[in-house]
Structure formats: C-alpha cells, structure tokens
Amino acid sequence: MKTRKLGTLEVSEIGFGTMSFASTYGPSPGRDEAIRVIRGAYDLGVTFFDTAEVYGPFTNELLVGEAVAPFRDQIVIATKFGWDVDLATGERRGGLNSRPDHIKLATDGMLKRLNIDCIDLLYQHRVDPDVAIEDVAGAVKDLIAQGKVKHFGLSEPGAETIRRAHAVQPVTAIQSEYSLWTRDPEPEILPLCEELGIGFVPWSPLGAGFLTGKIDTHTLIDPKDFRANSPRFTAEAREANSAIVDLLRRVAADRGATPAQVALAWLLAQKPWIVPIPGTRRLDRLAENLGAANIVLTAGDLSEIQAIGSAVKVQGARLAEAMLRLSYR
C-alpha cells in the first residue's frame, strides 16, 4: 500500500480504526478473532492503527497492544486521552478531563496497556472547555520531551483551538468525522490544516456503515449498537439519506467497485494528506475497504459526486453529537 504523511508522520494511506472491537456496535467478536483481523490488516499493508483509552475503557488498548506486538516497530499507533476515566478502575465518571496531571498519568497507563515505550500519535479525544488548550498542548509537549510520545493530535477541535494548540506544540494530525454525509470540516478545518501543514484523519469515513450500501430502512439494529440511538439511523433518516448511497452505487457500478470503496476513494481524492481510518470486524470487509486505494476517480466522477452530494440535505444530527452520549463499552 502507498503511504501518506500526516505532518511529518508517514503512514499507510488508509488506516484501521479499532473501535469496532469495543462493543460500540453491539457484541464484539472474541479476542482471537479480533487479533486475527487486526493482524490481517497489517498483512494487507496497513501501518496505521487507531485506538483510545475510553474504548472499553482500556480493553481496546490491551487488545491492540497484543495484536500488533509482532510488528510493533513497523507501524504507527495512535491513541487518545480526554474523557474523565478513573485511571485505577477504568470506570467512566462522565464528562471530560484534560487536566495536565491527568493527561500524564493517563499516558503512563496507555503505555502499559499497549505494551510500548512510546506512543506515536497522542490525541486529545475531545476539547475540554474547562482546561486551556495551551495547558493541554504544554502537557503533551512535556511528554514528547520525556520520550513517551512522538506526535500530538486533536480530535473534533475548532479552528481557533487548533491555532492556539499549534503555537505551543506543533499539531501533527486532526481527527474529526468526515465523509460524504458529514462535510463539516470543509469550510474551515481543512484549509487550516493545509495552511499549517497538519494531516487530517477522517473517523467514520463510511458513515458508521451507512455509506457501504448495506444498511436500509429495513435493517435491524441491535439495541446495544450506538446507531440504535443515533439521529441519522432512524428509519425516516435512513430513507431520506439513501440518496447519497444511490449516488455511490451509480459511480461504483461504472468503475467495477463497491459503494464503500467509492466513498473512501472520494476522501483520498480530496487532499494528499487525508488518511481515513475505516473500522470493521471482518477481514473480507477490511480487504474491500483497502481496495479503495486502487480506485481512481476521474474529474467527471468527482464533479458528479460534488454536485449531487452537495445537493442532498442529510437528515439527522451527525454522529459526533450522538457519540458524546456514548460510554464506549
């Protein structure tokens, strides 16, 4: 697989988001199967793996650490701090916590769970309104100086927050929701990333599975799956938003591809420093997603997607708003 750069950090042009193994989408597969899929991602060329302390909490980092141990030196591991988690028990206390002392203790826990000496990319998971971003950036700068972290990232920040953080500790990557049905980063965040030389990592690049074309108004969603409570996954919203999937199907048919591959190829075509991190529990779906790297969309394809996609009024609040109510179990 080809590589791209997030700032100065080189990674595979498509990464792998491992939150799917944290039961967020309902019951997750067993440990052995999860490890098989994660290692399969590496065998298929993925060198960029994304996790977070709150996925579980803690259990996802333990899983990822075990799965990538045989090839740890050949990959980039990204994880995240920022939710108020009891660092001894893993219990979520609700809300956010990016106090510098908490960040540093949380990082020590991440290193142990991942069984690594240094975190390649450490994100603040959500901006904490009670802690100045300069203090957050300063704490990560200290961790970088100590050799515990290599690169600093932010998830779901605003433009002003990015500028303020970057002035204290250069930001390597911004991770925010971005896809054909969530285009919020386009007006301000993407231009700012280009200006400052920051990479961009779209999470939920397939709209939590909706853009694959495998979910319709009749699809039953497990009550334990967070999508059961997401405004975009009501039956009415799914019917209204199906116009985007219809568009992807048309383009995919012309190129001998799948809707998921076209959705990911569209993201890759936006900027050379965009690296999506689709997640899946199945190795065959993983291989399908990675096939997007071989899909070359023409100027006509991109123009059609832009015109029709922009005209579709997506129904339902975006996933990030629903995710704020999650426990990430």
Active site residues: 55
* Residue from 58, 81, 192 nearest 140 by CA: 81
- Three-state DSSP at 151 gives strand
* Cα–Cα distance for residue pair 105/142, rounded to 1 Å: 12
* Cα–Cα distance for residue pair 256/216, rounded to 1 Å: 22
Tell me the residue ranges of DSSP E strands in 102-170: 119-124, 149-155
Please return the burial class of 21, using the count of CB atoms within 10 Å of its CB with bins 0-12, 13-18 and 19+. buried
* Cα–Cα distance for residue pair 87/105, rounded to 1 Å: 8
* Cα–Cα distance for residue pair 154/78, rounded to 1 Å: 11
Which residues 6+ apart lie within 8 Å of 191 measured at CB?
Answer: none
* Cα–Cα distance for residue pair 54/326, rounded to 1 Å: 10
8 A C-beta contact, residue 35 and residue 67: yes
Tell me the residue ranges of DSSP E strands in 170-222: 171-177, 199-203
* Cα–Cα distance for residue pair 89/303, rounded to 1 Å: 51
* Cα–Cα distance for residue pair 192/50, rounded to 1 Å: 23
Report angle CA 202, 206, 211 to the nearest 5 degrees.
150
* Residue from 277, 305, 272, 271 nearest 290 by CA: 277
